[in-house]
């Protein structure tokens, strides 16, 4: 996950110098607005009120030209009318609405103008909220937004409150709406809450609740935007308190990445420490940030960090990776080998029991052994269902004797290899490796890798005998909170 930056809008609350300096100190960057400007090295983003879908006049263009030293600029997907007026908290169209073709054409022309003014600047567009009038029809549809972003080769500024207001007022499912948006192109997220008048939602840039922040963190972890921005302008003290909360969240996300699969499986919050620094001070800071959010942290390093045990980290078995050049094997195979199917899962799960006791999960006694058994059974199952690129099984008289899973992305890597206790001594493991080599050789792969643990002496000896050589060590630590 790339670093996330806290970006705060410049507003009328910046008028008091002492308060302004506190806000700037909490923020990584500042977001300029049409009516509030500030010359500062952190002011690198400009959020314009211009409608990206409308034709711009000279006045609009001249306004853009006043902004300097920008890295990114964002615009509203504001209205499907060229001219609008604000009546009763919503825009009303004047004249005839633009066609989709006209809106896309205007967007293309506007992007060309922006590039002429600012050069190769990054451009974002913000989803608007549907407040009832036909001004918002079509342009608030997730399909329209996705097509606009992708065809224009620009990014999405996702406004959470706008999306929720649209879903409430149009009676849409929020999560389905979210899934249909181009979140893979989301570069910035605007955070705020909204207000209700009867059954209708309005954008009031209200203070987020604790539940909102929990939701924000999950969304940011999933979407991985570059910038997060709190849109709140009413009370200086409330803004400052919320920026402190958001600063803590951003720091936590930048220091720790949540392990979603492990969290769901073990039913505790588990994260991985991002090793940006190996000092004791850095580790203490990470632990402090994590203490109210995580139960267990993983740390992976290509070097041993001896002081971690002083900080109550558990040193797990060192992960070692072996590699070999793929060669064609002419050795005769006396077994039937085929790709696994769903019907094999039950038998493969039985074989996997107690095979991986050298892994870090078994050696960390905070994890229950039966849960560790279940973990590897689930791993095997998921591999057959698509997690691995292929799973091969060895059969003798229609009885499965062993299996091997392979991930082919970049350098092919063995995920799991398992042999039934009843098949020990039949060289089933060697047969699987040789078969896999031939399979990969025919696909023009040159190298095969396999990880294991430094404590797993039988596996190490097995791989060395087959010509694998040690290429990498990874030190793994667990810290329980």
Domains in the chain: ranges and CATH: 5-254 (3.20.20.150), 261-315 (no CATH), 321-473 (3.40.630.30)
| pLDDT (0 to 100) of residue 331 | 81
pLDDT in single tens digits along all 481 residues of the chain: 589 999 999 999 998 899 999 999 999 999 999 877 788 899 999 999 999 999 999 989 988 888 888 999 999 999 999 999 999 888 999 999 999 999 999 999 999 999 999 999 999 999 999 999 999 999 999 999 999 999 999 999 999 999 999 999 999 999 999 999 999 999 999 999 999 999 999 999 999 999 999 999 989 988 999 999 999 999 999 999 999 999 989 998 999 999 989 999 999 999 999 988 889 999 999 999 898 889 999 999 999 999 999 999 999 999 999 999 999 988 888 899 999 999 999 999 999 988 999 999 999 999 999 999 999 999 999 999 999 999 999 999 999 999 999 999 889 999 999 999 888 889 999 999 999 999 999 999 999 999 999 999 999 999 999 999 999 999 999 999 9
The closest alpha carbon to 408, from 381, 448, 348, 380, belongs to 448
- Looking at residue 326, its pLDDT comes to 95
Residues shown for the chain: 481
Q: What pLDDT was estimated at residue 68?
A: 81
Compute the distance between CA of residue 3 and CA of residue 36 in angstroms, rounded to an integer: 27
* Residue matched to tokens 């990114």: 72
Q: State the Cα–Cα distance between residues 408 and 449, nearest whole angstrom.
A: 10
User: Where does 224-322 have alpha helices with state H?
Assistant: 236-255, 260-266, 280-290
Distance, CA of 248 to CA of 337 (rounded, Å): 53
Q: Are 184 and 225 in contact (CB under 8 A)?
A: no
Element at 445 (helix H, strand E)? none
Number of Cβ within a 10 Å radius of residue 366: 12
In this structure, what token pair is assigned to residue 305? 């960090």
Contact of 54 with 39, CB cutoff 8 Å: no
Sequence-separated (6 or more) residues with CB below 8 Å from residue 159: 126, 127, 128, 129, 189, 190, 192, 231
Cα–Cα dist 274/453, whole Å: 22
Within 13 A of 394's CA, how many CA atoms are on the CB side?
A: 26
Q: Which two tokens stand for residue 275?
A: 């090793």
- State the pLDDT at residue 39: 85
Q: Which residue has the tokens 């077994």?
A: 335
* pLDDT value at residue 330: 84
CA–CA dist 159, 178 (Å, integer): 11
Q: Residue 100: what are its φ and ψ, rounded to 5°? A: -60, -40
Enclosing H/E stretch for 463 = helix 457-465
Question: Contact 437/467 with Cβ under 8 angstroms?
Answer: no
Give residue 104's pLDDT.
98
């Amino acid at each position: 996950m790339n670093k996330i930056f806290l970006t705060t809008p410049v507003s009328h609350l910046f008028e008091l110098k002492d308060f302004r300096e506190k806000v700037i100190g909490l923020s990584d960057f500042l977001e300029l607005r049409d009516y509030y400007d500030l010359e500062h090295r952190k002011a690198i983003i400009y959020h314009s009120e211009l409608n990206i879908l409308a034709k711009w006049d000279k006045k609009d263009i001249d306004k853009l030209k006043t902004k300097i030293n920008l890295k990114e600029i964002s615009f509203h997907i504001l209205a499907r009318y060229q001219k609008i007026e604000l009546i009763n908290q919503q825009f009303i169209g004047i004249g005839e609405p633009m066609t989709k073709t006209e809106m896309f054409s205007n967007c293309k022309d506007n992007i060309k103008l922006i590039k002429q003014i600012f050069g190769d600047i990054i451009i974002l567009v913000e989803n608007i909220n549907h407040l009832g009038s036909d001004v918002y029809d079509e342009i608030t549809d997730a399909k329209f937004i996705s097509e606009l972003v992708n065809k224009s080769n620009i990014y999405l500024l996702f406004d959470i409150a706008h999306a929720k207001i649209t879903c409430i007022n149009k009676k849409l499912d929020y999560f389905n709406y979210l899934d249909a948006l181009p979140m893979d192109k989301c570069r910035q997220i605007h955070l705020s809450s909204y207000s209700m008048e009867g059954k209708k939602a309005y954008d009031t840039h209200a203070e987020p609740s604790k539940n909102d922040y929990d939701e924000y963190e999950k969304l940011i972890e999933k979407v991985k935007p570059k910038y997060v921005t709190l849109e709140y302008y009413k009370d200086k003290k409330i803004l400052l308190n919320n920026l402190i909360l958001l600063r803590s969240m951003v720091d936590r996300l930048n220091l720790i990445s949540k392990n979603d699969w492990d969290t769901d499986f073990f039913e505790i919050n588990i994260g991985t420490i991002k090793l940006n620094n190996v000092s004791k001070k850095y580790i203490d800071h990470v632990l402090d940030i994590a203490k109210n959010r995580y139960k267990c942290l993983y740390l992976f390093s290509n070097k041993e960090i001896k002081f971690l045990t002083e900080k109550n980290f558990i040193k797990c078995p060192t992960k070692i990776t072996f590699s070999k050049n793929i060669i064609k094997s002419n050795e005769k195979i006396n077994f039937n080998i085929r790709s696994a199917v769903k019907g094999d899962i039950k038998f493969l799960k039985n074989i996997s029991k107690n095979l991986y006791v050298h892994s870090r999960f078994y050696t960390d006694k905070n994890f229950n052994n039966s849960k560790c058994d279940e973990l590897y059974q689930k791993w095997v199952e998921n591999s057959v269902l698509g997690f691995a690129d292929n799973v091969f099984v060895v059969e003798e008289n229609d009885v499965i004797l062993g299996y091997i899973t392979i991930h082919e992305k970049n350098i092919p890597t063995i995920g799991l290899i398992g042999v039934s206790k009843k098949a020990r001594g039949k060289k089933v493991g060697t047969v699987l490796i040789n078969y896999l080599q031939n399979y990969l050789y025919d696909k023009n792969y040159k190298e095969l890798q396999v990880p294991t643990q430094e404590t797993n002496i039988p596996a190490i000896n097995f791989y060395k005998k087959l010509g694998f050589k040690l290429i990498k060590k990874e030190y793994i630590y667990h810290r329980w909170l």
